[in-house]
Every structure is written in structure tokens, then in C-alpha cells.
Amino acid sequence: VRCDLPGPRRCRGFLQAYYGTDHSQVTEVDGINGALMFYTPFGDSISEDAATFIKPDAAHHKELLEQAHAALLALHKTQLDAANATARVAAMRPTEAVLSIWSGGVKGINAGCHQPKLQKSGEPAVPGALSKAAMQPIPDWPLYVANEAYGTMNCFAEGSLAMSEAVLNRLNVPLPPTGWLDQELAEGLLEPEASAGRPPTDPFLLGPRLWRAEASRPAAPAAPQEVV
């Protein structure tokens, strides 16, 4: 959001909210119960693009903008009251939004997504363990694996890039001074501690600092607000 325009309506931009799943179990810190179910009716079930441009011209899009506006007012009511700005902000309306749901109905996204199997004990796989074991599956052979299916960032090419860089480092192959991934991102994708509980989305958009900030945040309230 930028507030650098002349006149009273000087702010413009978007607020970004991310919901990873429809569930908020302990193992899915990025999920909110019913989040995707709530937003799905406002997008197309079959489309060429995951992103839907929300404008008040369509009745269902106008409803989403109204609900988002009301939720934001409720969320910030204490601060707005303290600034004596509640009535002024309540009279404003969002002009547009972008809704993106990566569903099977979107062209190009209806593909498989790899996840490590449970351990024999039934416990979830240890983050990063599969990557280290699969990198050189036969210790005495010069055979290496670099693929998102075995990486710590499943379903995304960044997992393959991180494993490729780790293989080259093991082989003592010179890399560009900055590597393929910046140091913090590479460490975040290869260290199990840093990848545990990470939101399953594109790491170049969120970044390791956001993952760690998310992990250190207090638990979410029982009834979170729906916001776009």
C-alpha cells in the first residue's frame, strides 16, 4: 500500500492475505477453517488463470468487497476509534481486489503434488530427511538426485534448484558468487529446522524471514476474521 498521491484519496494498493488450506490443525499453521470454501464461490471453477480480478460491477464480486471491507473495519475498530476515524473509513469502499485459488480447475495446475510418506511408526516425515537421503541414494555411485519430489519445497521448482545447488557444493563445483539461490533461502530450503511449518507456497514471494516470523507468532484466535 502506498500513500503518495495528492489530495484526500492519497493511498492505493493491495493488502495480501494467504490461506494455505481449509483446516487449522496444529500441523497446518497456515490454514484457517473454511477459508477456501468461503472464497471459492467468488471465482470461476474452470479457468485459464488462477487469478480472478474482483470489481464491483458483478454482484458476487461486490459482495466480496463489502465483506472484506466490513471484516477489516471490525479487525481495526479499536485503532480506528482511538484515531476518531471509524466513520470516515467506514464510508470508504475498496475499488478492486485479486482473488487467486490454485485449484484443479485452473489450466496448468491440475497436476500431481509430491509429499513424503509417513514414517513406519505413523509419524509425519522428518523435514529434510528425505532430501538428504535421496541426494545420493547409492553412496558409492556418482549418482545424484535433484528434484522437487525429494526436496524440502515440494511441488515447486525451487526445491529442485536447492537440491541442485547442494549437489554441486558436495562435488566442489564452483558456483556464481551469489549461488542460484540467495544464502538465506538456500539454507531455509535445506535445513529441516527452517523448513518445518513453512507455508506451502512460492518461497520467492514469501521469503525465509516471513516463514520464521510466522513460526514465532502467537497462536491465532479461535475465530479469525476473513480478509482479502
Answer yes or no: is pLDDT of 110 > 90.
no
Instruction: Give the predicted TM-score (pTM) of the model.
Output: 0.54
- Contact assessment for residue 194 and residue 203, using Cβ atoms and an 8 Å cutoff: no
Q: Which residues contact 31 (CB under 8 A, 6 or more apart)?
A: 19, 20, 21, 22, 23, 24, 25
Orientation angle between helical segments 157-170 and 183-190, nearest 10 degrees: 100
The pLDDT of residue 207 is above 50: no
Q: Is the pLDDT of residue 38 over 80?
A: yes
Q: What is the pLDDT at residue 208?
A: 44
Neighbours of 120 (CB within 10 A): 6
Report percent pLDDT > 90 for the chain. Answer: 22
Question: Does residue 197 contact residue 215 with C-beta atoms inside 8 Å?
Answer: yes
Give pLDDT tens digits for 124-157: 888 778 888 888 999 889 899 988 888 777 777 7
Pairwise CA distance, residues 79 & 75, whole Å: 9
pLDDT at 158: 76
Residue 54 to residue 51: CA distance in whole angstroms? 9
Kindly list the distances between the CA atom of residue 64 and the CA atoms of 15, 53, 105, 164, 227, in Å, as whole numbers in the listed order: 14, 12, 21, 43, 10
Question: Quick one: cell of 30?
Answer: 497456515
**Per-residue confidence (pLDDT) for residue 206, from 0 to 100:** 42
Tell me the three state secondary structure of residue 39: helix
The 10s digit of each residue's pLDDT in 167-205 is: 887 888 877 665 566 666 555 555 555 444 444 444 443
